[in-house]
Amino acid sequence: MLNDLKILDTTLRDGEQTPGVLITSNEKLRIASKLDELGVDVIEAGSAITSKDEQKSIKTITENKLNAEICSFARPMKIDIDTALDCDVDSIHLVIPSSDLHIDYKLRKTREQVEEMAVNATEYAKSHGLIVELSTEDATRTGMDDLKHLYNQCIEVGADRLCACDTVGILTPERSYEFYKELAQLPQPLSVHCHNDFGLAVANTLAALNAGAQQAHVTINGLGERAGNASCEELVMAIESLYNIKTGIKTELFYEISQLVERISGVTLQSNKAIVGSNAFAHESGIHADGVLKKSETYEPIKPETVGHRRRFILGKHVGKHVIHEKIKETNTQVTDDELNRIFERVKSLSDMGKTVTDVDLQAITDDILNIDMEDSLVLQEYTTVSGNKVTPTASVKVNINNSERIEAGVGVGPVDAAIEAIRKTIKDTADITLEEYHVDAITGGTDALIDVLVKLKYNDKVITARSTEPDIIMASVEAYLKGVNKILTDEKRR
């Protein structure tokens, strides 16, 4: 594996092709700016020919003079290249179908015709000052001789980089190594572009890099068509941690950019997603948690701070006393061994009933065992909300914070969002609290179902969880949020 590895991020092109994902011009700029800060070498900003809005998005990115090379996807057609030129990109990702399957059934052309298109498009793009990365679609189902012939023809007219795409993710790591090793003998730098249909995109990309490929195509969170593309964060951390090779990527930004892409794309990450999932550094088992508390390396391959993440201990059925004791101590509360045992039994009892024990639940149990009567710091006195198809969802609240009455209003994409925004405004001078996660479940059937809302709130470097169960989703959301806020404010009082 080469030490001068290049990263091409295609979150804004291949990632946006994830079913149901649409990223606006301003959102693309936010992601591109963060990718540039992350340190990727090339940002594939989209496909300029797609639409006027896509052209505007790409042009907005190129106008911001980022450090990364800005690239547009293009077919081997003059109109695609001209449109990319109008967006002032540095390069094009010129994609040519190469397998008999694609040439015969999709293009309905001869191989000679396709090769002529590729050569003409490469020559035209180079004559207009563009960097050309020639990419063969469905390369892994293309004969090696046919691939090399196409590449060599385009190299002769100036292709700068070559890319072989495992378009439907059929490689295995062993086959990937042999495939890319053969192509790495060509005179121009080789890129690897893997899809994750069998869950092997990152493994196949690593094998290709070990075989001589010099650039990897990736997306944040592994976004992409069908099962997605090779995940940027997984690939980079494997190279840095398992191969001990520095990539130049600012890995401490991974969690932040992952969260940004998740919010903008609307594609929720699975909790056990490697590196950036909510459970990537979460521990419930008593044995594991005890080991991590003593020395993190016992059950963590890397420190969460390396990727901008944080460690969490879950209060579930497998939790041990040491974790509960640590969480109680975080609030500057002291308990005896007997009190800790009683708290532990109450937590286990709740867990055995299938309930998620939140930080607020633990606080309530602890206060009850210790006979502490701590008044809520924030009390909701009045609440109204207005919502409708022709009305911007609006909420107004009157709250009492430490005997001081405050009234605020908020707007949002829905009544829940508006209500939480109104409450957030009332406490902005007291505590800067961020809603990190919001989860809703219906726990009974029918239109009168009980709604269970779980929220995660962040304050400074600490994340706390709270929940509420009500028949009304708005009130359940407001109550869960208030419980979380009060937990944070109460902890501050105790400190």
Start-to-end CA distance of the chain, whole Å, equals: 51
Does the domain formed by 282-369 have CATH 1.10.238?
A: yes
What is d(CA 370, CA 187) in angstroms, rounded to the nearest whole number?
74
435: which strand partners? Answer: 457
Would you state the pLDDT for residue 1?
61
Domain ranges of the chain: 6-265, 282-369, 378-494
Distance CA 118, CA 76 (A): 6
Q: pLDDT tens, position by position, for the chain (495 residues)?
A: 667 899 999 999 999 999 999 999 999 999 999 999 999 999 999 999 999 999 999 999 999 999 999 999 999 999 999 999 999 999 999 999 999 999 999 999 999 999 999 999 999 999 999 999 999 999 999 999 999 999 999 999 999 999 999 999 999 999 999 999 999 999 999 999 999 999 999 999 999 999 999 999 999 999 999 999 999 999 999 999 999 999 999 999 999 999 999 999 999 899 899 999 988 998 877 677 778 878 888 989 999 999 999 888 777 777 788 888 888 887 778 889 999 999 888 888 877 776 668 888 888 888 878 877 665 677 777 777 777 666 788 989 898 887 788 899 999 888 889 999 999 998 888 888 988 888 888 766 666 677 888 898 988 878 888 888 888 888 889 999 998 998 888 887 777
Nearest to 136 by CA among 123, 127, 126, 149: 149
Of 22, 91, 21, give the one whose Cα is nearest residue 57: 22
User: How far apart, in whole angstroms, are the C-alpha atoms of residue 42 and residue 228?
Assistant: 19
What CATH topology corresponds to 378-494?
Double Stranded RNA Binding Domain (3.30.160)
What architecture is the 6-265 domain classified under in CATH? Alpha-Beta Barrel (3.20)
- Residue ranges with strand state E in 320-461: 378-388, 391-401, 404-411, 433-442, 451-459
Which pTM was predicted?
0.81
pLDDT tens across 118-170, in order?
999 999 999 999 999 999 999 999 999 999 999 999 999 999 999 999 999 99
Two structure tokens written together for 381: 């006195």
Q: What is the pLDDT of residue 375?
A: 59
Contact, 83 vs 130, CB < 8 A?
Answer: no
pLDDT digits over 361-398, tens only? 888 888 878 877 665 677 777 777 777 666 788 989 89
Q: What is the pLDDT of residue 448?
A: 66
Residue length of the chain: 495
25 vs 63: CA distance, rounded Å:
13
Q: Where are the alpha helices (DSSP H) in 169-320?
A: 173-183, 201-211, 232-242, 254-265, 286-294
State the pLDDT at residue 367.
Answer: 81
Exposed/middle/buried for residue 17 (C-beta within 10 Å: 0-12, 13-18, 19+): middle
C-beta pairs of 98-101 under 8 Å, 24+ apart in sequence: 98/136, 98/137, 98/138, 98/139, 98/142, 98/146, 98/147, 98/150, 99/137, 99/138, 99/139, 99/141, 99/142, 100/142, 101/138, 101/141
**Residue 386: its pLDDT value, please?**
75
d(CA 398, CA 5): 56
